Amino acid sequence: MEKSALYHRPDSEMAYLYTKNDFHIRLRTKHDDVQKVELLYGDPYGMKVNEKAQGSWDYQIKEMKVIATTKTHDYWQASVSMPLRRLQYAFHVYGRDGEEAFYDDRHICSYSQAAIDNLAAFRMPYFHEIDRINPPVWVKETVWYQIFPERFANGNKANDPKGTLPWDSAEPTSTNFFGGDLQGIIEHLDYLKDLGINGLYLCPIFYAHSNHKYDTIDYLAIDPAFGDKATFKKLVDEAHARGIRVMLDAVFNHLGDTSMQWQDVIQKGKESRFADWFHIRKFPVSYEKTANNELAKNITYDVFANTPHMPKLNTANPQVQDFLLEIATYWIKQFDIDAWRLDVANEIDHHFWRRFYQATHALKPDFYVLGEVWHSAQEWLSSHEFDAAMNYPFTELISECFVKKTLTASEMVSALNEQLMLYRRQTNEVMFNAMDTHDTARLLTLCQGDQRLQKQILTFMFMQIGAPCLYYGTEVGMAGGYDPGCRACMIWDTAKQNRQMLQFVRQLVHFRRNYAAVLSQGQLIWKLVDDQTGLIILQRKWKEQQITAIFNHSQQQQLLPQTKGQLLFSQGWEQTTKVLKAEGFMILK
C-alpha cells in the first residue's frame, strides 16, 4: 500500500456538515491501491474501561464507499450522525497487497489494537449549525440566463445614448451602442419564462461610461441609457411574478476613472479625502498612453488588468468597506434582488468578503453570492464568503475534451472528478456552470459552427452537478468570438433565428427543471468512459429517480443493442438499427 498517498484534512471539504446532523467524511487514497476503508468513529468522550483493554475507545465501524476516481487517486466517503453532535474518528485502510494501515490525526501506522488504544483521533468537537456551509436551496433548481444589457433588446428609444446605431446594423465593438435597456428585458420576460429560465443574471446596469459598464461612475444610479430605478423595480417585480430570480453584477474591485472619487484624487492629489480609497504609489497619479488607449505603461496606481481607466479600490480601508456594503444592501432593501455576482472577486481581500456575506445574508438569509474566480476557489468557498463560484475550471475541461480534443474522455472525467472533490457537496450543487459568457468566445464559435456538437456539449453540461447558465442568444444560434465579438445584438428577427436550436434548448431547460432534484443532488456515476469507442455513459441517481445519459464522443457511429429506460430525448439515435451516430446522445429515464 502507498501510505504516503493517504490524505485527509479535518474541518474542510473532506470533513463537513452537509445537513443539520449529517456529517460527511472523505479520504483520498492512491488510485486502485486500496480495496476497502472502514471509518472508526464515536463520541470524543466515549471512552470505556473493560477487561480487554484499559482505556479502549468505544467506537462504531462504517464502511466507506468510493465516490470519485481520478487518474491518480480514489476518493472515499461515509456519512455519520451523532446524537450529541460531536465526533472523533480514524481510518482502517485495507491495501490490495494485504497490508492494513491505521490513520488518525497524528499517525499512519500498521493497524493493530495498540494503534487504536493509542488513538489521536481526527475530531469535529461540535456540529455548529452556524458554521455549516449552507447555500440557498433555490439555486439547485435554477437555470440561469446571462444578459449583456446593452445588446439584449431596445425597449425605450427615448433613452438611447448619442450615436446609437440601428439594432444589429454593425459588428459589435468595444465602443459602439445599440440601445439595449431594462425595458427591453421586461418586454421579453415571457420569452424567458417560456424558455424555462428561472434565474436572470445581468451584467452591470449602474451608471458608467462604457457599453459594458464595468467602469462604474455611480453604484447607486441606474445608467441613464438603461432606464431608471422605477424601471428596474418593475423589472424585478415582473421577474419575481414569473418565478424568475434576479442577480446583479457587483464591480467592487475598481471604479471608473470618471467617478467622482477618482476625479477628486486627480484634482487634489494626496490631499483628496479619497486618496486612501485607492492603491496609489506616487502623486500626482499619472500614466503614459500607448497605441491602445485601454492600456498604458508607467501607471502610478494599481488598476484592473492593465487599464488606467479602472483604478483599484482599497477594500482594506474601512471607509471603502462601509461604502460598498451600503451599496450591496441598498439594492436588496429597495429592490429585493436575489443575488450578487462579484466581478474580479479573487483580487479583493477575504476580510471584506466575509463582511459582505454577513451583511447581505442578514437582510435575506437565502441570498446567493457568486464569485468570479477562474481557478480553484477553495479559499472563498470553505468559509462564509461566497456560496459558489463561476465554475470555469470545470466547464473548460468539457470544452477541452469535446471541442479542442486536447483531453481524452477518461482524462476529462478524471479532471472533472478532481474539481468536484475540491468542494463540499452542498457547494457543488450550486456552482455556476456556463459554457460561454461575455468574457469568452461563444460556444457555437468554439464548435466552429457545428450545431450538433453544441447540442451535445450543452446536454452534457446540463447533466452535471451545479446550476447551468445560458448566455443570451445561444438558444437561437448566435455565434461570436472573444470580446467584443461575443457581445453582439440579440437576434429577435425570427427569420434569422435558428428555430430548431431554440426548440431544442427549450426542451433541454425544461428537462433540467423537471428533474432538478436528481440532477442537482443526485449521485453522479460514470458507468462507462471508453476512449477507444468514444462512448460516455453517466447516471444520476436520487432516491427512486435515475437518469442515464449516453454520449458518442467519437466520429464513428456506435451500435447500442441494449438500452434500458424511457427515452426522453436524443440526437442521432436510430431506434430501428440501435445505432448512435457521431456527436449523438440519448437521455433515458
Q: Which residues are catalytic?
A: 343, 372
Nearest partner of 62 among 96, 91, 95, 87, judged by Cα: 91
Q: How far is CA 98 from CA 32, 64, 399, in A?
A: 13, 18, 41
Q: What does the angle CA 502 – CA 504 – CA 506 come to, to the nearest 5 degrees?
A: 70
CB count in 10 Å sphere of residue 297: 10
Q: Convert 106-134 into a string of H (helix), E (strand) and C (coil).
A: CCEEECCHHHHHCCCCEEECCCCHHHCCC
SS3 content of the chain, % helix, strand, coil (to 5): 30, 25, 45
Is residue 304 within 8 A of residue 284, CB to CB? The reply is no
In this structure, the dihedral spanned by the alpha carbons of residues 539, 542, 544 and 545, taken in order and rounded to 10 degrees, is: -50
Ordered alpha helix ranges (H), 138-209:
182-186, 189-195
- Read off φ and ψ for residue 479, nearest 5 degrees: -120, 170
Task: Give the whole-angstrom CA distance, residue 364 versus residue 336.
Answer: 9
Supply 134's cell numbers: 449552507
CB count in 10 Å sphere of residue 284: 12
Total H helices, total E strands in the chain: 15, 28
Is residue 183 within 8 A of residue 174, CB to CB? The reply is no
Q: Which residues contact 6 (CB under 8 A, 6 or more apart)?
A: 27, 28, 29, 91, 93, 101, 103, 108
Is residue 399 within 8 A of residue 454, CB to CB? The reply is no
Q: Which residues contact 216 (CB under 8 A, 6 or more apart)?
A: 204, 206, 207, 208, 251, 255, 256, 259
Supply 511's cell numbers: 428537462
Q: Which residues contact 26 (CB under 8 A, 6 or more apart)?
A: 8, 13, 14, 15, 67, 75, 76, 77, 421
Amino acid found at 88: Q
